[in-house]
Structure 1
Amino acid sequence: MIIIDSPSHDAYFNIASEEYLLYKYPTADLFLLYVNAPSIIVGKFQNTLAEINLDYVDEKGIKVVRRMSGGGTVYHDLGNLNFSFHTLFEGNDFLDFSTFTAPVLSLLNGLGVPAKLEGRNDLLLDGKKFSGNAKFAKNGKMIQHGTILLNSQMEVLADALKVNPLKFIDKAVKSNRSRVTNLIDYLAVGTDTETLKEWLIAEIVKANPGAELYQLTPEDIDAIQRLATEKYNTWDWNFGFSPNYNFKKAAKVPAGFIEVHLDVDKGYIKQAKIFGDFFAAKPIEELESLLVGVKHERAALTTLLESIDIQGYFGKVTAEEIVALFS
């Protein structure tokens, strides 16, 4: 088994590293550990906009990254340790999460923490979740990765993943907002992610005699960074990959009541309908047509709405007020 401790706290880099290592080591067993700065990691089949509080995420500069595995959306920060097992897919039960959560449970149980695997893929403590796990198969290998909430900022987690359920009606799987807990209150004072990482590496080495530590080379880091830039740090992957969905939002602005309905396909607006009691000098159908083909994201909408006579369609409004209606 090869053990790798990522040198980076960048979520784009660390999620990209899982794909890079998948191809660099097509047959070897591998164990990867990483800690991300504040970020939201979205399941492959989820509608990103339906999972996050976009205003809060933008304000706080929280990165949003889509991973290659299914499952729900999770929040990462420096108080959260992430682990990833890579193994050959042959003979493995894809729905069995017990094999690769066993080292985490063995470590914690040995420290007197009564953690256990419950349900499909969660590790719980006193009925509260501290670790969610997901997996995928690709290139003949299977990757199972998971989180360990040690001392994560729960208030940020709650705010970053909060979204108005009335805004979206989508075909994607929404995350199950489980009750969660940190491990810090169950471990020795001063335990941090580096300590937990060292303990977990020791547990893996004990269970896998001959396991070796590998340090990413400058060539590895350059290749991972390229993949991160070209794929994992792009709007098309993180937002545009989202399934089709319908968006609805209404608000009262100085010009009157405005209600927006959008059909969105792969992140692009395919149809727009705008209702309300505002007074318009220009036909609203004209604006609806202009919206077709625009990315359903703040920057693209701002560019469009600031380039036209927005008051001609709604009366006394600002482009910023209208942009807010679309997000």
Structure 2
Amino acid sequence: MAQSMLNKIVVNGACIVGIVGRNVGYRPTTTIKGYATQLKERMLVPEEKVTKSVFMSQSTDIYANLALEDWMYKNMDFSNHHVMMVWRNEPCVVIGRHQNPWQEANIPLLNEREIALARRSSGGGTVYHDRGNLNVTFFTPFERYDRKYNLELITRALYRGFGINATINERQDIIVSGTASKLGRLTAYHHCTLLVNSNKEDLKKSLAKREHGIQTKATPSTPSPIANLSELDNRVTIDSLQTAVGYEYLRTPALHLADGGQSLINKQRGFQFINPTDEWFPGLNNIKKELQSWDWCYGKTPEFTVSRTFPVPPELLAPALVYSATQELVINMSVEKGLISDVTLSIPPGLVESGFHGQASVITHLKGKRFTSEALNALEEAMLTKRSNSDVKKLDDREQFVAKCFDQVVNTN
């Protein structure tokens, strides 16, 4: 079925491009048990028999493009056909598989501006995407994964096309991009984010790191310099970069960096438009729905704790009493799978003596709630329902202070 669906004709201006199923190399998903035997038995073809394609995604939806990456990783055979996919997205923040979104991104700002947050299946750090950057994914068999080859190929494209001398740092990142990879038993992919004319101000605001009391073993991002390629050379556009990198890929042999020129380009399968939909790639929508889910984007976060201390304003303390120490409200939370698993609320004497007694009710109502504004709604409900007078529908000043403190724990960046 997948092969027939891939026999699509795509029209882009005057260019008509077809993707033929037998050339794409569709492989039904293999069971884990069969991987070892399959890997042992398969024989990879010599370098000169490997062909290449450049796939150009027609979607700018981050979830569709990540789902396409995953679909290709699971279903395609790259043993004699290597693929480079180029793709763009509307504004979004993409975190690595083992990262904490509350620590890596400005979640309140993303929610306010309706900027999508997505978690990749691959590792690595957090990146910001918009229509001003180009994402490049290299697919190969596991045995032929070569991160340095991919990055060197991009630097060659930048130099050949624009005379830009890009460097690779000690982490094997191009200084103007972010990279990550995923290695499986049979297949591997490596993707890069190249900044062309991305909105750097939005990037900085969206990736503002949270430093307010989170303790976690989640993978932290390593900050990198931010530079748009268009600032280095105004000839660099998304289209011109896509063309330069694509042709560099097609003119380069599969396993070593050399210039095969036009003769090698002529032997390749060329540029091919693809549409990441269920019609083209059966089962892709199920992958996309999973990647969009709260349980994946936030619920996959490694366990973490948050501890914050808030001085109590003098006007909220019991009048006519003098305290020997600063009166502070201390909030400690443990969060597992994105849900609040434990809460410790230390109420200072001055706040208790002034009339606040909602500690037990607050803790009971918060457990099991998402580490989002859902927890704040539960907190307000807890403080209202503990009263004997059920007609009171407004928090008093002390309760509003406690609620504001919880809001800062959950939503402050």
Aligned-partner Cα distance in 2 for 1:134–1:294: 32
Using the TM superposition, name which of 49-58 and 219-228 deviates more.
219-228
Using the TM superposition, name which of 99-108 and 315-324 deviates more.
315-324
Aligned-partner Cα distance in 1 for 2:126–2:62: 14
Aligned-partner Cα distance in 2 for 1:311–1:182: 54
Confirm whether residue 195 of structure 1 aligns to residue 249 of structure 2.
no
Partner of 2:223: 177
Alignment of 1:247-266 (within 5 A): 247-251=306-310, 258-266=329-337
How big is each residue's C-alpha offset from its partner over 1:261-302, in whole Å with a ceiling of 9 and x where there is no partner? 11111211111012344345544022112212112122x224
Partner of 2:102: 49
Q: Offset at 1:244?
A: 0.8
The match for 1:98 among 148, 163, 166 is 148
Aligned-partner Cα distance in 1 for 2:382–2:363: 13
**What is the RMSD computed on CA atoms of the aligned residues?**
2.5
Aligned-partner Cα distance in 2 for 1:228–1:250: 40
Aligned-partner Cα distance in 2 for 1:60–1:320: 24
Confirm whether residue 152 of structure 1 aligns to residue 202 of structure 2.
no
Aligned-partner Cα distance in 2 for 1:243–1:53: 18
Aligned-partner Cα distance in 1 for 2:307–2:163: 49
The match for 2:359 among 284, 289, 295 is 284
Q: Offset at 1:20?
A: 0.8
When the two structures are superposed, what TM-score results if normalisation uses the length of structure 1?
A: 0.87
Is the Cα contact below 8 Å between 1:80 and 1:152 reproduced in 2? yes
Aligned-partner Cα distance in 2 for 1:196–1:253: 56
Partner of 2:284: 224
Is the Cα contact below 8 Å between 2:343 and 2:367 reproduced in 1? yes
Confirm whether residue 119 of structure 1 aligns to residue 178 of structure 2.
no
Q: Across the two proteins, how many residue pairs are aligned to each other?
A: 316
Aligned-partner Cα distance in 2 for 1:312–1:153: 48
Is the Cα contact below 8 Å between 1:305 and 1:323 reproduced in 2? no
Letter in 1 for 2:217: K
* Unmatched segments (≥5 aa) in structure 2: 1-51, 254-263, 318-327, 388-394
Partner of 1:2: 53
* Unmatched segments (≥5 aa) in structure 1: 125-129
How big is each residue's C-alpha offset from its partner over 1:239-279, in whole Å with a ceiling of 9 and x where there is no partner? 11011111123446875754321111121111101234434
The match for 1:205 among 250, 253, 257 is 250
Letter in 2 for 1:147: T
SS in 1 for 2:156: helix
Partner of 1:297: 372
Aligned-partner Cα distance in 1 for 2:150–2:379: 50
Q: Offset at 1:119?
A: 1.2
1:291/1:182 Cα in 2 relative to 1: closer, same or farther (>3 Å)?
Answer: same
Q: Offset at 1:306?
A: 4.6
Partner of 1:272: 343
Q: Offset at 1:222?
A: 6.5
Alignment of 1:315-326 (within 5 A): 315-316=396-397, 317-318=399-400, 321=404, 322-326=406-410
Is the Cα contact below 8 Å between 1:121 and 1:132 reproduced in 2? no
Partner of 1:309: 383
SS in 2 for 1:273: strand
Q: Offset at 1:170?
A: 0.5
Confirm whether residue 21 of structure 1 aligns to residue 83 of structure 2.
no
Aligned-partner Cα distance in 1 for 2:117–2:311: 30
Q: Which has the larger radius of gyration?
A: 2
Q: Offset at 1:87?
A: 0.4
Q: Offset at 1:204?
A: 1.7
Confirm whether residue 239 of structure 1 aligns to residue 298 of structure 2.
yes
Partner of 1:127: none
Aligned-partner Cα distance in 2 for 1:45–1:57: 20
SS in 1 for 2:298: helix
How big is each residue's C-alpha offset from its partner over 1:103-131, in whole Å with a ceiling of 9 and x where there is no partner? 2111111221110211113112xxxxx11
SS in 1 for 2:90: coil
Q: Offset at 1:221?
A: 5.8
1:121/1:237 Cα in 2 relative to 1: closer, same or farther (>3 Å)?
Answer: farther
Q: Offset at 1:197?
A: 1.2
Q: Offset at 1:13?
A: 1.1
Is the Cα contact below 8 Å between 2:196 and 2:237 reproduced in 1? yes
Using the TM superposition, name which of 279-288 and 17-26 deviates more.
279-288
